[in-house]
Structure 1
């Protein structure tokens, strides 16, 4: 009886505390909505659902589609979103004019999404427009090109992407481009070529954010050395926590802090957990027909919001709390994610974990979106200075 009363007493004490935590979380997200740096829903709609923006209901329940999606309006709302950079990624096996056409098709999907759900999504192009969208109860939608192969060596193409709403470009994806190295390819350039530096300069001039996710450490350092504006890593984690080549080492974190940039934490378990990455590597060669049996005999290691929080806190310790943000990579991670974070509503668990670790609402607001909003403002300021100085367009180059 005494034990039962003790357990009951603990439960009664815990229940009000949990309710208070939930209420704090609701108040926080109402005041400081999430601005997520990376979501691959446009590719999933194009590749898995034939680009049927008008025929696929994204209002709710997209996890029940065939194939399922990790993002819909209901989960964005539950996750406290006020802004989303939609990735307009295409695979690296597209090159030349075909890469430009496929990128335009991805941009078209984002623009159709905004038109399909005007009460929830609105295209924005500036920090002020993004802030106004958040305050007006809509999710400000921007775009990010995920790989320098998508401009086909043309600064004119880069400028036209900006005109259509693209506000960052990732310099590489999983393979090198002619002017910069990828973190997951054999080093070739070991920095940036002259054209690579021209790309950075033109991005600074027009007001497009330089994104260093996927980029090799040498090329990232070279970009940080020449850019006049802050950068982002739109969906990367801390190398010191999980030594995956897609994650950011401490020396680059320190350079990013000096630059004023932001590293935006990703939820892909392979990038979050070294144990999961090792499990995934063992699983990869298993034939698809045998994977169910293999998975039963070799269950994956647990990955939780606490593991994601470890990356946030490491980046905050090394670079500072002004230089960490969120870039989930939802719908680009094969339906996986940490426990309770396998959809776009998952950020709530991360915030709750960081609240338990003593993070203030002010620091959480920086993480949620304040830091990346500041970067966007700074990038715009650099572009305005270039315009005032009469900086010319750079020539088309290949």
Structure 2
């Protein structure tokens, strides 16, 4: 009789009302494993807005960095919003424009590494420079945001393995092989192919990145470059800020043919928040707008005011479709479908785009994404992998491969005569 008396209580405890809500599951996951974000462009904001003079820059609160500044919008990132967004580790992008010549890009990326280190050092209670997985772990345990750096675009090394090695020595922990344009050794996703993927030098560069422990980032590269890099790589690759091409057809996103190879490599796609890469209707809108701009420029040659007026009318009649948190979650679903839960990370691209999706306009919005994922049935363990665990595994694997080839000599290439 006593056992029977317990049954209603047991049934109540197992009822949906007693189950954790999606918000509670997400909160528990982010408390245990805060977001390790793969890509944030604060450093280029410092260059564009302040010419890297940051003595008076207040990173506690950047909500006053509005239209009066050169970028014409408020920054997405500050310490307060990083805390609100449950960010525990951050790859700061030391991006410089691909329009620079290679020698100019080498100088500029060193300046960006320098300004990023200076920013980190100004806030020792909140930020900690992290060069290894152990240092990331230590910083998070101390309640500080582990701060790593990634170079966005191979133009930043001037086609020199020596420069590659030295940028690693001063702190860069990943390099995106291209940005918007081809390099002399790799094809970009958004340029006319020249090399059919990676050249022999490009393949040696991937090998050298693996040898020294620098992560190979395949965001921005062409599909053939992705495959060539996977053919060569001995350590897991990353896509620091990309989506799934099956959901949005933009060339910047990762096709299923590549996603299906990630389990064997151990790599991850860190899902981007840029609306035009998330929502297919938005991608189509941008394409239609560019086509209209071209049409009007031909129709009203030499009359820029007429073109501007006509484009204003077009914009008023054709509002841009808005990307949502659900769109971002759809990309995560697709990566899980093709590559599994271990292949997913987060790479927002904040401060490198006009805005994030609705409800995630800035870095404070990550809990909303994880709540959406919990609603879709992702467990707390799943969410902890997506937020932090998968990236930690990848970095540890890169470090383990580096240790395993510690006696391997550097790959040498002749300097120009």
Q: TM-score, normalised by structure 2?
A: 0.87
**Which residue of the other structure, out of 367, 386, 389, is the alignment partner of 1:367?**
386
SS at match of 2:26: helix
Q: Does 1:383 align with 2:389?
A: no
Partners of 2:358 and 2:215 lie apart in 1 by 32
Equivalent runs, 1:214-233 vs 2, <5 Å: 214-233=220-239
How far residue 19 of structure 1 moved from its aligned partner, in angstroms, is 10
Partners of 1:236 and 1:26 lie apart in 2 by 25
How far residue 118 of structure 1 moved from its aligned partner, in angstroms, is 1.0
Give 5+ residue unaligned stretches, structure 1.
1-15
Partner residue in 2 for 1:94? 100
**Which residue of the other structure, out of 100, 112, 115, is the alignment partner of 1:109?**
115
**125 and 265 in structure 1: CA distance in 2 versus 1, 3 angstrom threshold:** same
Contact 1:40/1:332 (CA < 8 Å) preserved in 2?
yes
Partner residue in 1 for 2:188? 182
Partner residue in 1 for 2:412? 395
**Which residue of the other structure, out of 310, 324, 327, is the alignment partner of 2:347?**
327
SS at match of 2:201: helix
How far residue 64 of structure 1 moved from its aligned partner, in angstroms, is 4.3
**Which residue of the other structure, out of 331, 350, 358, is the alignment partner of 2:377?**
358
Give 5+ residue unaligned stretches, structure 2.
1-16, 294-306
**Which residue of the other structure, out of 322, 327, 337, is the alignment partner of 1:307?**
327
* Partner deviation per Cα, 1:264-289 (whole Å, 9 max, x = no partner): 10010110011011112233465667
Partners of 1:60 and 1:337 lie apart in 2 by 18
Partner residue in 1 for 2:6? none
Partner residue in 2 for 1:41? 42
Partners of 1:41 and 1:111 lie apart in 2 by 12
Contact 2:28/2:380 (CA < 8 Å) preserved in 1?
no
Contact 1:214/1:246 (CA < 8 Å) preserved in 2?
yes
Partner residue in 1 for 2:55? 54
**257 and 290 in structure 1: CA distance in 2 versus 1, 3 angstrom threshold:** farther
Segment drifting more, 143-152 vs 65-74: 65-74
Contact 1:153/1:397 (CA < 8 Å) preserved in 2?
no
Partners of 2:309 and 2:276 lie apart in 1 by 22
**251 and 275 in structure 1: CA distance in 2 versus 1, 3 angstrom threshold:** same
* Partner deviation per Cα, 1:322-345 (whole Å, 9 max, x = no partner): 001100111111x22210111011
Partners of 2:365 and 2:64 lie apart in 1 by 13
Q: Does 1:235 align with 2:223?
A: no
Partner residue in 1 for 2:3? none
How far residue 370 of structure 1 moved from its aligned partner, in angstroms, is 0.8
Segment drifting more, 312-321 vs 17-26: 17-26
Q: TM-score, normalised by structure 1?
A: 0.91
Q: Which has the larger radius of gyration?
A: 2
Q: What is the count of residue pairs matched by the alignment?
A: 380
Q: Does 1:121 align with 2:140?
A: no
Partner residue in 2 for 1:4? none
